[in-house]
Chain A
Amino acid sequence: MLSRTADNLYWLARYMERADFLARILQATRRLATLPKAYGGAETEWESALLSSGAAPAFHAAGLPVDEANVTDFLAFSPDNPSSIRNCIELARANARAVRTALTVEMWEAINGAYLELKAFGQRGGRSSEDLTRFLDVVKQVSAAYDGGAHRTMLRNDAYWFSRVGLYIERADNTARLLDVKYHVLLPDSEAVGGSLDYFQWTAILRAVSAHTAYHWVYRDSLKPWLVADLLILRPEMPRSLIACYESVVQNLDRLGKSHGRHGPAQRHGRAVLGQLENATIESVFHKGLHEFIQTFIADNHRLGALVSEQYLF
C-alpha cells in the first residue's frame, strides 16, 4: 500500500484513541475534584489531568490559572492545544478524508459523526456541565464505534495492521502517562502515608481505564495500590495494560512483517519490549522504581513509533 496511506491510517488510529483517553481523563478528574480536600479532591487534580495528557507545558505557556473551567476547555475544545479532543477529532477526520479509500463506510461514518457532533457542540455556545457530560460520552462512543467498525469491517491486510499498531502504541502511551502522573499514590508505602484517603485516587485511575470492576474480578481483593499497578502494567487480560498493548503491537507488526516478507528493527524492538514486560514481576518493578520503569517504557514506546516510521513510512 501507499506509504502515505499507511502513515495516515497509523495517525488516524492514534488520534481517535487519544480523544477517547482525554475524555476518560476528564471524566475521572471531574469526579475526583468533587471530593472534599481531605480525600484528595484538591486543585492539584486538574494539574494531574494536564500532566497525564501531556498538555501541561502548552497550558502553562498560555498563562491561565489551573481550574476546572480552564483545564476542561483546554483539553476538550481549545484550538491552541494540539492534542485537545477537538484537534484530535479534526485531525482524525482530515487523515480519514485523505484515505477514504482505505476506510470502510462504518469507520468513516463514526469519524464524520464525531466531527458533526463537535461542530454542533461548538455552535451551541454555552457549555453547561450537563452538555460536557454528554459530549464526553459521545467521544467515547464514537471512539468505540470507530474501533468496532475497524474490527468488524476492515480487510485483514496491511491497512488494518498499520492502524492497529497505531492504536496500541497510543494506548500504551496513554496508560503509561496516567501511571506516571499518579505513581506516588501507587507506591507500596503510600498506604501507610496516606491511609485510606488515597483510595479515591486509585479508583480514579481505574475508572479512567474502565477497570474498576475488572480489578475485583482479577484480584478478588480490596484495592491495593501495588495491585492497581500490577493490573495496568503486567496483566495480559486487562486490555489497557502495557503488556496487553504490547502483545497486540507485536502481533500486528508480525503480520506486517510476514506480508512484507521480512522482519525489521520495528519487529525486533517490539519483541524486546514485550519480553521485558513478560519477565517482570510487580516486585521487580517496584524494586527498580515505578517511576523509572515507566519513564523507560515511555521512551521505548516512543522509539518503536519512530522505528515503524523508518521502516515502512519512508
Chain B
Amino acid sequence: MLSKAAQFDEMGGVDGVTRLPYEKLSKWLSSVEPEFLASRRAQAELLFRRIGITFAVYGSQEATERLIPFDILPRIIARAEWAQLEKGLVQRVKALNLFLGDLYGPGEILRAGVVPSELVYRNPAFRPEMAGRRVPHDIFVHIAGIDIIRTDDDGFYVLEDNARTPSGVSYMLENREVLMRLLPDLFALHRVAPIENYPDQLLATLRSAAPRSAGADPVSVLLTPGQYNSAFYEHSFLADKLGVELVEGRDLFVKDDVVFMRTTEGPRRVDVIYRRIDDDFLDPLAFRPDSALGVAGLMGAYHAGNVTLANAVGTGVADDKAIYTYMPEVIRFYLGEEPLLKNVPTWRCREPEALAYVLEHLDELVVKEVNGSGGYGMLVGPHATRAQIADFAVKLAANPTNFIAQPTLALSTCPVSVERGVAPRHVDLRPFVLYGPNGASVVPGGLTRVAMTENSLVVNSSQGGGTKDTWIIDDAPARA
C-alpha cells in the first residue's frame, strides 16, 4: 500500500480511468483550449500580486516577498470521502487536547508507560512553566492543522500534526476567491461546499475560549511578530476578516496580571490572544529574555487566568515528530477508540534497531528532524546524491534521538496546469480543525499543497511548493 509501484492519481486512479469526483473536471479540461488555461494562469498571477499575497522566504535576499505559485485546477474530494476524513480529524484533535492536559497535569499516560517520559520531559518544546497549570476550559489546541497525504482510493494518512500555530488558512480562503473569479463556469458544474464562513467560526471559537473573568463581550486580538515575519500577510488577512486588532508585542502591556492594548483612547483590556508567535518569544520574563516580540508579564496574566492564549503555551510537545509515532496509542488511551486516520509507518531513530535499519536504507527513506518544520533539514533519500547521503549519515549517527525516518510514500498526484498543458503533480492536504468548549468544527477542504516540479515530493511553500483550491463536492452529480 505504501509501495512506490502503483502511482495513484486523484483524477485518473491507477489505471487511467477517470474517478467519479473528477468526471466533470476531466470533461471540461478536454473542452478548453490550452491558451485559455494559459491566460487564466497569467490572470491568477496578476491577481495575487495585486492583492499582495506574498510569503517571505528566509535566507533569500533578492526576494523577501515572493508569490506562492497557485495552480488554477481544483483538487476534488467527494463528500463521502471527506466525511470519513473529518471524523478522523476531530478524533485526533480531541485526543491531542486530552493528551496535553494530561502531560501538564497528572501524567497518567506516562505512568502507564504508553509514551516514554523522557520523550516528553526532555523535549525542548515541553514547557516546565506549564506543569500543574490549568488553562481556560482545559483547551490547549484551539486551532490545529493536520497534514494528510493520500496514497490510494481510501488511503488517507496523517503525515504530521501541527498544534502550535498552523498557517496557510489565508491561502485556502484567497484561493477560493480567486478561482471563483477565474473559472465561474467550472464552479457552475459542481456543488462545492463553501469555506467562507471559516473566519466567523474562528472568531466564535476564540470568543468561546475566553477566560471566565472576561466580560460578556470578550476582546480578542491577533498577536503577530510583525511585518517581516514570513506569514505576516496571513496575520493581517485574518485579523481583517475576524474584525480584531492586529497587535504586536509593543502594543500590549500587563498591569496587575491583566493584559491591555494601547489605543488612541487609552488602555483597553484584552481577553483572548490568538497568537502567531512562538512560545519562546511570548514573554521575555518567562522565556527568551532577548525577545523584543513578546509582552513582559504575559505569562503572569496567563497563570492568573486573566487571558486565553490560542493555542496554549507548550502545545509543541504534542506535534513533535517523535511523539507523532505514538499518536495511535494516545488516541486509544484517552478515547478508547481505534484511530480513524492512519499514521505513516515511522522508524524512531532513538531505538537502536530502527537506527541501524535507517542507516542501511538512507537512499530509500525520508529522514526528518523531530523538531524541524517547513521542509528544512530533511533528507529525501531517493532524490539525494551519494555525498548528501553520506553527510546526512554522519549527522544522524551523531544525534539519532533528533530524527525519525519514513518510507518515501507514493503521494497521490493531481492534475496541474503547467507550461505544456496539464500534468500530474504530487499533493498533500492540510485541513484546519477548530476546537472550543462548544465542540469541534472542520472547514470543508483545507489547503492543498502541490510540489510544482515534476516528480518532486516536497510541497512546502518555503521550498517552492504551490497551492490549489480544494473542493468538497456533493456526491450526487449536479445538473450541468
B417 within 8 A of A: no
Check B50 against A4 for contact (C-beta < 8 Å). no
A1: CB under 8 A from chain B? yes
Q: Give every chain B residue within 8 A of A1 (Cβ-Cβ).
A: 245, 263-264
Within 8 A of B (CB), among A243-282: 256, 260-261
Taking a contact as CB atoms under 8 Å apart, the answer to whether B264 and A97 are in contact is no
Contact B50 A112 (CB under 8 A): yes
CB contacts (< 8 Å) of B237 on chain A: these are 100
Residues of B within 8 A of A112 (CB): 50, 52
Interface range on chain A: under 10, 10 to 19, 20 to 34, or 35 or more? 20 to 34
**CA of A255 to CA of B271, assembled, Å:** 29
- Report chain A residues within 8 Å CB of B434: none
A97 to B224 CA separation, bound complex (whole angstroms):
13
Judge if B255 is at the interface, Cβ distance under 8 Å: no
The yes or no answer to A39 lying at the interface (CB within 8 A) is no
Whether A312 is near chain B, meaning CB under 8 Å from some CB there, is yes
A residues less than 8 Å from B250 (CB atoms): 4
Is B288 an interface residue when CB atoms closer than 8 A count as contact? no
Residues of chain B within 8 A of A137, CB atoms compared: none
Cβ contact within 8 Å between A109 and B50: yes
* Cβ contacts under 8 Å, B187 to chain A: none
Contact B227 A98 (CB under 8 A): yes
Cβ 8 A contact of A2, one of B50, B232, B236, B261 = B261
Q: Which residues on B sit within 8 Å (CB–CB) of A94?
A: 227
Question: Which chain A residues numbered 88 to 115 have a C-beta less than 8 Å away from chain B?
Answer: 94, 97-101, 105, 108-109, 112-113
B248 interface hit (Cβ, 8 Å): yes
Contacts of A312 in B (CB 8 A): 264
Contact B248 A4 (CB under 8 A): yes
Tell me if A3 and B264 are in contact (CB < 8 A). yes
Please determine whether A97 and B239 come into contact, CB atoms closer than 8 angstroms.
no
Interface residues of B in 191-241 (CB under 8 A from A): 226-227, 232-233, 236-237, 239-240
Q: How far is the CA of A261 from the CA of B245 in the complex (A)?
A: 21
In the docked arrangement, what's the CA distance between A82 and B51, Å?
A: 27
Chain B, 84-142, CB within 8 A of any chain A CB: none
**In the complex the two chains form, what is the Cα distance from A6 to B251 in whole Å?**
12
Measured between alpha carbons, how far is A2 from B239 in the docked complex, in Å? 13
Interface check A314, CB cutoff 8 A = yes
| CB-nearest residue of chain B to A312 | B264
What chain B residues lie within 8 Å of A313 (beta carbons)? 264
Candidates A2, A100, A162, A260; contact of B247 at CB < 8 Å = A2
Q: Which of chain A's residues have a CB closer than 8 A to the CB of B248? A: 4
B245: nearest chain-A partner, CB-CB: A2
State which of A97, A158, A162 has its C-beta within 8 Å of the C-beta of B232.
A97
- A148 to chain B minimum Cβ distance, whole angstroms, is 17
Report chain A residues within 8 Å CB of B332. Answer: none
A100 to B263, Cβ gap below 8 A?
no
- A174 to B21 CA separation, bound complex (whole angstroms): 62
In the docked arrangement, what's the CA distance between A99 and B263, Å?
A: 14
Chain B residues with Cβ below 8 Å from A109 are 50-51
**B239 and A101 form a contact (CB under 8 A):** yes
**8 CB-based A-B contacts, threshold 8 Å:** A2-B262, A3-B264, A97-B227, A109-B50, A112-B52, A158-B264, A260-B265, A261-B265
Chain A positions near chain B (C-beta within 8 angstroms): 1-6, 94, 97-101, 105, 108-109, 112-113, 116, 158, 162, 256, 260-261, 312-314
- Known A-B contacts: A2-B251, A100-B52. Give 16 more (CB < 8 A): A1-B264, A2-B261, A2-B262, A6-B264, A94-B227, A97-B232, A99-B246, A100-B236, A100-B240, A101-B245, A101-B246, A109-B51, A112-B50, A116-B49, A260-B265, A314-B262
